[in-house]
Amino acid sequence: MSKEIKSRGEDYSQWYNDLVLKGGLADYSAVRGCMVIKPHGFALWENMRDQLDKMFKETGHVNAYFPLFIPKSFLSKEAAHVEGFAKECAVVTHYRLKNDPNGNGVVVDPDAKLEEELIIRPTSETIIWNSYKDWIKSYRDLPLLINQWANVVRWEMRTRLFLRTAEFLWQEGHTAHATANEAIAETKQMLNIYAQFAEEWMALPVIKGVKSASERFAGAIDTYCIEALMQDGKALQAGTSHFLGQNFAKAFDVKFSDKENKLEYVWATSWGVSTRLVGALVMAHSDDDGLILPPKIAPLQVVIVPIYKNDEQKTAIDNKVSGLVAELKKAGVRVKYDDNDNNRPGWKFAEYEMKGVPVRIAIGARDLENNVAEIARRDTKEKKSISLDGLSETIVQLLSDIQQAMFDKAKAYQQSHITKADSWEAFEKILDSAGGFVAAHWDGTAETEEAIKQKTKATIRCIPLNNPQEEGKCILTGKPSNERVLFARAY
């Protein structure tokens, strides 16, 4: 069998691109830096989205939708915010085309220039807070807990499928609260929801932490994050939750009357995860044969492949399988019976492996005689003959086992790639060999952080929550420090 996916060892970028393209998740598009998300990839995203949406609603949030376009003036109201986003914004300057007078298709109509340019949202804080100004008058209007599922555009220099595209899909939650403590609690609650989703649904272990000042979201007081580890030892920021303080309330003049009838600025949070999570999933779990998707979010959990030599055998298999499919569907399993006669079984086996379907059931005439089926699990490639009696219970259990095994494997990898470094030599050596997170002391200054980044390309991924306090010396400057922070090279 020929390898369709380039091996991990040769070139990690190529390996990753192959997985996304040949796994049927996405395709390059005609538009620079953008991608086409194909049905398989979108179904995966939908499953993730639906689960997250459910978790948001369970914690009292509601969905709304705000405009794609942001008046330029809105973006300049919060100084740090504009500083962070201005250089990567797409700008709409005209609203009409006309036929080219020289007969070469269409040109921008110079008479249709906008008085005020519109920015295609790189994130929606500004346009949302402009609305919140009108919505919030009293403490009775608070808390305001709104989420938006949307697309945003950030004109990045360099793009990568799912991990960094010019346009991407995400959700952004924007909440307003009466007190700082309540807003901080919200920030942490959403971080926990992200971590829970990553670990329980994506089988992706993450480290919860807070960003250093220089990695903080533009306009935030504190940025909390979940950091995941990819199979090449590089870290990936998988989600962020920001405590915005009163920065946006002040910029957009959002005040409320409290119970004592005093006028106060509201306290804000924002939080988001994007289709980048799909990229994280691909990089964290796949192998050289293709994608490996966690059962809980896999678009297809079980595929059944019939093996037959003639119509008589096919009919016998059909009869048996139709009952099995009904049984599995009743048990809530996403199952497909692929009896397409155009492709042979071997082709189907390889195809569904590449697409990451967790469980494959093969049934042939021989199996029917013995009342068994061949069950193959994608994560370990293990194959077994299992009795057809009570097969659906076996499958449901197997899916659950695979979900757990995938998490355990990724967790073991993560744990074995968190290394303490107490000297500069050790620090560099770990980054260049095993990779992963390096727990090291840091003097707390942005200058040192930048110097380390320049020397090693490693950045502070986060300061873990509940970080143990211990006396130590900064890995670079030797100045005193009272806790270790996690460094890594990152996507």
Partner RNA sequence: CGGGAUGUAGCGUAGCCCGGUUAUCGCGCCUGGUUUGGGACCAGGAGGUCGCAAGUUCGAAUCUUGCCAUCCCGACCA
255 phi/psi in degrees, rounded to 5: -120, 155
CA angle 477, 482, 486 (to 5 degrees): 75
**Residue 13 sits in the site that holds RNA (CB under 7 A):** yes
Please identify which residue in 201, 308, 437, 487 interacts with RNA, judged by CB under 7 A: 308
* Contact call for residue 383 and RNA (CB under 7 A): yes
How many Cβ atoms from other residues are within 10 Å of residue 269's Cβ?
29
Q: Which is nearer to RNA, 190 or 266 (CB)?
A: 190
Pick 285 or 320: Cβ nearer RNA: 320
- 258 or 289: CB nearest RNA: 289
Whether residue 148 contacts residue 61, with contact meaning beta carbons closer than 8 Å, is answered with: no
Question: Which one among 187, 240, 241, 419 touches RNA, defined by CB under 7 A?
Answer: 240
Q: Does 217 bind RNA (CB under 7 A)?
A: yes
- Judged by CB under 7 A, does residue 318 bind RNA? no
**Rule CB under 7 A: is residue 176 a binding residue for RNA?**
no
Among the listed residues 72, 133, 160, 409, the single contact to RNA using CB under 7 A: 160
- Per CB under 7 A, 349 contacts RNA: yes
354-373 mask for RNA (x: CB under 7 A)?
x-----x-xxxxxx------
Residues 247, 265: Cα–Cα separation, whole Å = 9
Please, what is the end-to-end C-alpha distance for the chain in angstroms? 32
Interacting positions 396-415 with RNA (CB under 7 A): none
Contact in structure between 304 and 361 (CB atoms under 8 Å): yes
CB of 435 to RNA, least distance (A): 13
Q: How many residues are listed for the chain in this entry? A: 491
Nearer to RNA, 175 or 275 (CB): 275
Query: Looking at 8, 38, 72, 164, which residue binds RNA (CB under 7 A)?
Result: 164
Question: Does the footprint of RNA cover residue 455 (CB under 7 A)?
Answer: no
**Count, residues near RNA per rule CB under 7 A:** 64
Residue 101: which region, alpha, beta or left (left: phi > 0; alpha: psi -120 to 50)?
alpha
Residue 159 in contact with RNA, rule: CB under 7 A = yes
Say how far apart CA 491 and CA 287 lie, in whole Å.
19
**Element spanning 100, H or E:** none
Q: In the beta sheet, which residues pair with residue 362?
A: 305, 374
Extended beta strands in 295-425, E state: 302-307, 335-337, 359-364, 372-377, 383-387, 418-420
- Residues 73-92 close enough to bind RNA by CB under 7 A: 84, 87-88
Structure token pair of residue 305: 């492949």
Q: Is the dihedral of CA 225, 428, 162, 122 positive or negative?
A: positive
> Nearer Cβ to RNA, position 332 or 346?
346
4: contact with RNA by CB under 7 A = yes
What are residue 26's DSSP bridge partners?
37
Nearer to RNA by C-beta: 21 or 133? 21
Q: Which range touches RNA (CB under 7 A), out of 69-77, 141-149, 151-159, 439-447? A: 151-159
Q: Which two tokens stand for residue 229?
A: 């580890």
State the pairing for strand pair 167-177/235-245: unpaired
Q: Where are the alpha helices (DSSP H) in 256-390?
A: 276-285, 311-330, 345-354, 365-370
Question: Are the C-beta atoms of 488 and 234 separated by less than 8 Å?
Answer: yes
The minimum distance between CB 160 and RNA, in angstroms, equals: 6
**Among 376, 395, 475, 476, contact with RNA (rule: CB under 7 A):** 376
Sign of CA dihedral 340, 344, 345, 346: negative
Return the range that interacts with RNA (CB under 7 A); candidates 96-104, 160-168, 400-408, 437-445: 160-168
Footprint (CB under 7 A) of RNA, residues 245-304: 274-276, 289
Site for RNA, rule CB under 7 A:
1-2, 4, 12-14, 17, 28, 31-33, 84, 87-88, 154, 156-160, 163-166, 168, 215, 217-218, 236-237, 240, 274-276, 289, 307-309, 341-347, 349-351, 353-354, 360, 362-367, 374, 376, 381, 383, 457, 490-491
